């Protein structure tokens, strides 16, 4: 496994695949037993993986509890990320949820106990609650960094405009920066590319992509009658093969997999990685893990990436319908569009 810097605001060196621990535990009624989680953790570590992602509410807290045991004596060898915002369990009330400073502090203290550690390496706000001011969130993150409870802060499942505002406020105030974003990104969920991925790139944020397999749809297993997340989690975090385009995407994916003698899952993960994100793999079994890890050995040609891009493309939205118009682009380059060498990286 290779390593990458987590964005441009940290010196944090993380493995190219992130181990998602949402399946560590069985309190949701679907997941892996602690012994299976241990084997997954050990094989991931042996492969060179060092970036683990969980949340206060995964398996109603059991995921963090299992990780706390697994990390005993090895804590400094891993980047440990967890989240706050959502319910830890059905008993979590209105004050223990959301993005408020109160929710943040109480959730972090409880996570530290379950994880059996004195600090969280990366704390994500799990998703935008739509009501807590970004100023409160940024100040809360900075307080926790200064207290040594967390080292880095990030935003998961936030609109791009809120990400940009948070990053700018932190930068102008000289407080703990927003280090990264976590988003859903796969061949069947590319709307992230409209705003969030360009924002992450331009702002120098580390980008972590969850569900690169579309909840398992891109493995092709549901065509074979398997159930998996389609039923195991009540259909949540699952992309169905429910359109002509999605059928074409999976057909193309299977064809490319045959060409490079890999599985569709390996190709799907490799495609996400090729777009610059760190894919989260969330295996429930050792078998799934080993297949996911093999994605780091896949090398897709530019022609294969282009085929996958084309079949999964989404129509542009405003203002990109306007800004991408060749006539308009020629207009704002003084009629010299074909002579202008624009930077490859987007700018903020």
Q: End-to-end CA distance of the chain: give it in Å, rounded.
A: 31
Residue 210's H or E segment, with its range, is: strand 206-210
Residue 52: beta bridge partners? Answer: 19, 80
Nearest to 34 by CA among 69, 86, 75: 69
**Is position 44 annotated as part of the catalytic site?**
no
Which listed residue (58, 152, 222, 320) is catalytic?
Answer: 58
Find the largest Cα–Cα distance for the chain. Answer: 65
Taking each helix axis as running N to C, give the angle between helix 244-260 and helix 302-312, from 0 to 180 degrees, rounded to the nearest 10: 170
Cα 235 from Cα 216, distance rounded (Å)? 11
- Going through 230-287 in order, the beta strands assigned E by DSSP cover 278-281
Cβ pair 152, 122 in contact under 8 A: yes
Label the pairing between strands 18-20 and 13-15: unpaired
Spacing of C-alpha 77 from chain mean position? 21
Label the pairing between strands 79-84 and 120-125: parallel
Q: Enumerate the active-site residues.
A: 58
């Amino acid at each position: 496994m290779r390593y990458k810097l987590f964005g441009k605001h940290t010196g944090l060196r993380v493995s190219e695949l992130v181990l998602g621990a949402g399946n560590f535990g069985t309190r949701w009624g679907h997941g892996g037993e602690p012994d299976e989680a241990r084997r997954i953790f050990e094989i991931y570590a042996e492969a060179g993986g060092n970036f683990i992602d969980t949340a206060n509410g995964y398996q109603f807290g059991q995921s963090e509890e299992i990780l706390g045991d697994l990390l005993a004596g090895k804590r400094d060898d891993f980047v440990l990320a967890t989240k706050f915002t959502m319910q830890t369990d059905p008993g979590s009330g209105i004050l223990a949820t959301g993005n408020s400073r109160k929710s943040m502090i109480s959730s972090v203290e409880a996570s530290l106990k379950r994880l059996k550690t004195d600090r969280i390496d990366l704390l994500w706000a799990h998703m935008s609650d739509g009501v807590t001011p970004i100023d409160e969130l940024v100040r809360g993150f900075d307080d926790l960094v200064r207290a040594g409870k967390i080292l880095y802060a990030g935003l998961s499942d936030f609109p791009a405009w809120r990400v940009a505002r948070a990053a700018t406020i932190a930068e102008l105030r000289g407080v703990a920066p927003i280090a990264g974003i976590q988003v859903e990104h796969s061949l069947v969920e590319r709307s992230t590319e409209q705003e969030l991925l360009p924002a992450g790139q331009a702002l120098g944020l580390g980008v972590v992509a969850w569900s690169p397999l579309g909840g398992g749809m891109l493995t092709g297993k549901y065509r074979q009658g398997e159930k998996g997340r389609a039923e195991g989690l009540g259909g949540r975090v699952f992309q169905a093969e429910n359109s002509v385009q999605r059928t074409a995407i999976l057909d193309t994916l299977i064809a490319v997999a045959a060409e490079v003698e890999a599985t569709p899952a390996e190709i799907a993960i490799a495609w996400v990685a090729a777009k610059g994100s760190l894919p989260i793999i969330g295996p429930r079994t050792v078998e799934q893990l080993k297949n996911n890890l093999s994605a780091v050995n896949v090398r897709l040609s530019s022609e294969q990436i282009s085929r996958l891009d084309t079949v999964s493309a989404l129509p542009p939205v405003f203002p990109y319908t306007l800004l991408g118009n060749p006539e308009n682009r020629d207009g704002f380059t003084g009629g010299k569009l074909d002579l202008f060498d624009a930077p490859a990286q987007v700018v903020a």
